[in-house]
A and B are shown apart, each in its own frame.
Chain A
Amino acid sequence: MDTPIVAVRNLCKTYRMGEMDVHALRDVTLDIRPAEFVAISGASGSGKSTFMNILGCLDVPTSGSYLLDGREVQKLTRDELSLVRNRKLGFVFQSFNLLSRTTALENVELPLLYRRDVTAKDVRARAEASLQAVGLGERVLHHPNQLSGGQQQRVAIARSMVNDPVLILADEPTGNLDTRSSIEIIGLFQGLNRRGITVVLVTHETDIAAFATRQVVFKDGRVIRDEVNGSPLDAAKELARLPKPEAVA
């Protein structure tokens, strides 16, 4: 059996809010294996966002251990966490989080600019290839405000994959999109996943979770359901079934 990409043991996270301790995560244990497509769902306050932040090395657990790609991360310093995020992870957010007044290309180049081992020529080439892969090869010089929501999210996906991460974390990536764009975006994730990249996706929409190969449900800081989806939906087929979009320029 493969070594898991994510190995989480007895993970707890407690926030202190005023006088009260809020237990966002209580004793979560979970393995995610390479090339899995995991959908995490749960009501708000169930701890799924906290879990994602810890997986994404944006936050550290109160107790328990977290191995990312075989490496213990809960004791790393701020700058070491930055390095892990840069080399191993890709993020996609609900609100896209692109730099405004900066071209799509430059947004995608961003993670590479924080590496010292990539030449300027390679930075450009890799960013262009990445945008090509999400179908935005023609719009590299557009600014985010000149792009639709679906296109902005494609830029964000291009940015998340430009550093060849082992794990892409998507926090409600389709939350701000219409059905068609949502399925297109999910299709991109399925494409990445088929290339061997592990994808973890947070969503509260069950029809989106249906595209994943595994579904995990959080409630009150605990995993209450964790099952493999033997027959995930295929985005390409679903898209074909949707009524043709009206001609919109």
Chain B
Amino acid sequence: MKFSALLLIAFRSLARNKLRSVLTMLGIIIGVAAVIAMLSVGQGAKSSVESSIASMGTNVLTVFPGAGGTGGVRSDAGTTSRFTEDDVEAIRKEAEAVRYITPTARMSAQVKFGGQNWRTSVYGAYPEYLQIRSWNLASGSPYSAAEERGAAKVCLMGKTVVKNLFGDSTSPVGQTIRIKNLPFRVIGVLEEKGQGSFGQDQDDIIVAPYSTVQKKIVGGTYAQNMFASAVSEPAIAEASAQIDEILRRRFHFGVGDLPDFTIRTQTELAQAMGSVSSTLTVLLSSIAAISLLVGGIGIMNIMLVSVTERTREIGIRLAVGANGRDILLQFLVEAVTISFCGGLIGVALGVGASSLLSSLQGWAVKLSPVSILIAFAFSAATGIFFGWYPARKAARLNPIDALRFE
């Protein structure tokens, strides 16, 4: 029998029991819509994590004091390495895979301008900090190496700080603000970065020369962290190894010793975050898959009823020359038609639900054609899988018994 004829038979038979067909489809509709919505929520979460990590700078390494890792014996408090500008200088000179490096000093401080005040993070770092984080200026200019050396009281301001101190009207560039009561001239405004990987506001920041912050605000000699970038993304591992080697030498650690500093790369962070959102996607998808399974069982149930109801029809078809394959295909096409139509409606519903979630809840939702394709393929496969048994049952009927069936 021709495929078009089979399709026609399937549509007629479904149209004959409209309510029943729609209810059967509902299982698949819900399943497919759930798969699509869940996948796009999962994908959205993943890509927002990825983009926020990328906003940190893609080939960034952080060196901080204290042994990293988990568990095991830790060094005693107070025995952690203390980084100085000499360490930074050594790395800058010796580590070929490192392009930029800066020590950082960070402190939370009250900043004032006119009648406004705001508590924010003040970052002290070399001018290279901006290159490391691939951070551009929205206006103004960065401080120079000379200003760094001279501990000039200049600063760059993040958008959030600008908003809170200056409002939207006045331009902060050229104005003088007070950080811990010291006057600082604002020479540039940083471009907006948005939320960081942990939801923190990356724009709530003031960046100033390291020497200035270290001497005049923090008041210490040791850097809190070192922040570096590799010459290229593939060179991150090499850069990490070189820094490790240099610091071990400078702090007198043997090759096998557990050093009391930690080098963390952006890739590690991305992997950790990525695995969280992958788990989320798997979890959500398995819930969706279960609803597809339930929908499939619904199809099987209805197809079994349909085969029993139409036993006589099967008998007639067998008597006039249909063979087992013809009957099998007829019922299989019917089952697949249900699941395919269900899949089609489910895709529409899933896409609608995803966009609703993103507009109402503000969730990061990412619809991928692949997830639509997967959902579609799964719904068709469900039809074949769960339609097979009833169809085979129909195909194996004995013609005489089928003809005599009341």
A binding-site residues for B, Cβ under 8 Å? 53, 56, 58-59, 78-79, 82-83, 85-87, 91, 93, 97-99, 101, 110-111, 113-115, 120, 159, 163
With A113-B1, A114-B1 already in contact, the answer to whether A53 and B400 are too (CB < 8 A) is: yes
A62–chain B nearest beta-carbon distance, Å: 15
- Min Cβ gap B1→A in Å is 5
Q: A53-B400, A58-B399 are in contact. Are A97 and B323 (CB under 8 A)?
A: no
A77 to B326, CA, bound (A): 15
The one of A78, A79, A101, A111 that contacts B320, using a Cβ cutoff of 8 Å: A111
**Residue with the greatest number of chain A CB neighbours at <10 A, chosen from B319, B321, B326, B399:** B321
> In the complex, how many angstroms separate the beta carbon of A232 from the nearest chain B beta carbon?
28
Whether B316 pairs with A97 at a CB distance below 8 angstroms is yes
Query: Can you list, as one digit per residue, whether each of B1-28 has a CB less than 8 Å from chain A (1) or not (0)?
Result: 1100100000010001000000000000
B319 touches A113 (CB 8 A): no
Residue of B315, B316, B319, B400 with highest tally of chain A CB at under 10 A:
B319
- Please name all residues of chain A whose beta carbon is closer than 8 Å to the beta carbon of B215 when the two chains form the complex: none
Given contacts A82-B318, A101-B16, A111-B321, 12 further A-B contacts (CB under 8 A): A56-B319, A58-B319, A78-B323, A82-B322, A82-B323, A83-B321, A91-B320, A99-B313, A111-B320, A113-B1, A113-B5, A114-B321
State whether A86 touches B321 (Cβ < 8 A). yes
User: Is B317 on the interface with A (CB-CB < 8 A)?
Assistant: yes
Contact indicator per residue, chain B 300-336, by CB within 8 Å of chain A (1) or not (0): 0000000000001101111111111110000000000
By beta carbon, the residue of chain A nearest B315 is: A97
CA distance A66 to B319 in the complex (A): 18
Interface presence of B348 (CB below 8 A): no
In the bound assembly, the distance between CA atoms of A97 and B319 in angstroms comes to 10
Question: Please, which residues of chain A bring their CB within 8 A of the CB of B280?
Answer: none
Residues of A within 8 A of B324 (CB): 78-79, 82
Whether B312 pairs with A97 at a CB distance below 8 angstroms is yes
Q: Cβ of A83 and Cβ of B319 under 8 Å apart?
A: no
Question: Which residues of chain A come closer than 8 Å to B318, judged between CB atoms?
Answer: 58, 82, 85
* Residue of chain A at shortest CB distance from B319: A91
How many residues of chain B have a CB within 8 Å of chain A?
22
What is the bound-complex CA distance between A56 and B12, given in angstroms? 30
A24 to chain B, nearest CB (A): 12
Q: In the complex, what distance in Å separates the CA atom of A120 from the CA atom of B5?
A: 10
Residues of B contacting A53 in the complex (Cβ-Cβ under 8 angstroms): 400
Instruction: Determine if A83 and B403 form an interchain contact, defined as CB atoms under 8 angstroms apart.
Output: no
A59-B400, A78-B324, A114-B326 in contact; A85/B319 too (CB < 8 A)? yes
Min CB gap B326→A, angstroms: 6
Alpha-carbon separation in the docked complex, A58 to B398 (Å):
8
CA distance in complex: A114, B329 (Å): 12
Question: Is A82's CB under 8 angstroms from B313's CB?
Answer: no
In the complex, what residues of B have CB within 8 A of residue A110's CB? 316-317, 320
Assuming the contacts A58-B399, A113-B2, asked whether A99 and B316 have C-beta atoms less than 8 A apart, the reply is: yes
Q: How far is the CA of A239 from the CA of B322 in the complex (A)?
A: 37
Inter-chain contact B320/A159, CB cutoff 8 Å? yes
Q: Within the assembled complex, what's the spacing in Å between the Cα atoms of A135 and B7?
A: 31
Are B400 and A114 in contact (CB-based, < 8 A)?
A: no
Task: Kindly state the separation between the CA atoms of A110 and B327 in the bound complex, as whole angstroms.
Answer: 13
Task: Tell me, rounded to whole Å, the shortest Cβ–Cβ distance linking A177 to chain B.
Answer: 19
